[in-house]
Amino acid sequence: MGRPEGSVDKVRIGIIGCGRIADLNILGYLDHPRCEVHAVCDVNEDLVKMRLGQWKAKKAYTDYQKLLADPDIDAVEILAPHRLHHPMVKAAAQAGKHVSVQKPMCLSIPEAEEMIAATRAAGVKFKVFENFVFYPPYRKAKELLEQGAIGEPLSINIKLGTGVGGWWVPLKTWLWRVNWEECGGGPSIYDDGFHKMSIARWFLGEIESVKAWVDFMFGVIDEPALITWRYQESNRLGVWEANMSPGMLVHGAYYTPDERVEIAGTEGWIWVTRCTARLMRIPPLILYRGGEHQAFDDLRDDWGDSFHDCGWDFIDAILQDRAPFLTGEDGKALMQFWKAIYHSYSEGKEVRPRDMKD
């Protein structure tokens, strides 16, 4: 068990999964003044040794159960394939550890409910690590919306463009992401798409119904796709268009999918022009109101910044004894959004997320 609630002056965290994405997930833990990267764990012993030195951790494990049994660890960050999220989160809760799990939270609605119940019963914090809601240009856009900068929001249009380039990722990582039993869905609309579903819900509210069309490139990549939805509030609408252009070079330090978000309101428009990569070399955030454009070109706009701030949120939630963002309940709502998309394009009909049980 970790230390009793209220006795934590510094959160000692264990990292379960030391692969490529850990380069980003670790950022907020390394420089938070009240966090210590105490232990690392991965089935790859060489990778564990490398991360032990990089992050100056005190302990290394190749069995996550042994890490969970370490009484010096207060919290864990789980960066494992999606099919492992459910058993790992439940085991971490039973060991009394606060839990952050990489999105998507699991493979099914019943798994999500069990994870929420397990963490609630154990009295530990449960965070779904979805970093897009911490991307500084999105945060500024949300602030503008709440200030009424474009009047009453009417719609959101998310454009996802995927090309080639970016950083090196091991082949085995790509392979499990196109295996639905391992991943839980497709690599674009489910795995990466969890980010887009998250910001769609965060910006304009809960989703009422979904209508989707999805095709498959090379038989495994779920693009091109066109997903539309209605919000529960008033007459707000959303559109998400995803396309893969295998002959297009995309600049950026990370993955090659890049996002452009357009939010229309009764008095103006907001554009966020990039996130993961840098498809467009213009200011990251633009506001149009009263016949004038205002460019926000002084924002932190590296994709890594969103990981950094998301990690800080987890540590602060533990220290301040508050709910993290996103919660397990938020993660479940996004699972229902995904299931609605899946059933809509599979069955050719409009579907309500609230009706999704699995």
Same-domain status, 170 and 93: no
Q: What single string gives the DSSP state of each residue in 85-120?
A: HHHHHHHHHHTT-EEEEESS--SSHHHHHHHHHHHH
pLDDT at 111: 97
Same-domain status, 181 and 293: yes
CA distance 103 to 117: 18
Same-domain status, 32 and 147: no
Is residue 356, in this structure, part of any structural domain at all?
no
What global pTM score does this model have?
Answer: 0.95
Same-domain status, 87 and 153: no
Is residue 331, in this structure, part of any structural domain at all?
no
Domain count, the chain: 2
Same-domain status, 239 and 180: yes
Is residue 1, in this structure, part of any structural domain at all?
no
Same-domain status, 224 and 292: yes
pLDDT at 7: 56
For the chain, what is the mean pLDDT? 95
Is residue 247, in this structure, part of any structural domain at all?
yes
Same-domain status, 148 and 78: no
Is residue 51, in this structure, part of any structural domain at all?
yes
CA distance 69 to 72: 9
Instruction: Show the low-confidence residues of the chain (pLDDT under 70).
Output: 1-7
Can you give the residue range of the structural domain that contains 243?
133-302+339-344
Same-domain status, 169 and 249: yes
CATH number at residue 107: 3.40.50.720
Three-state SS for 131?
A: helix
CA distance 250 to 280: 9
Same-domain status, 261 and 296: yes
pLDDT at 64: 98
Same-domain status, 258 and 195: yes
Is residue 353, in this structure, part of any structural domain at all?
no
Three-state SS for 181?
A: helix
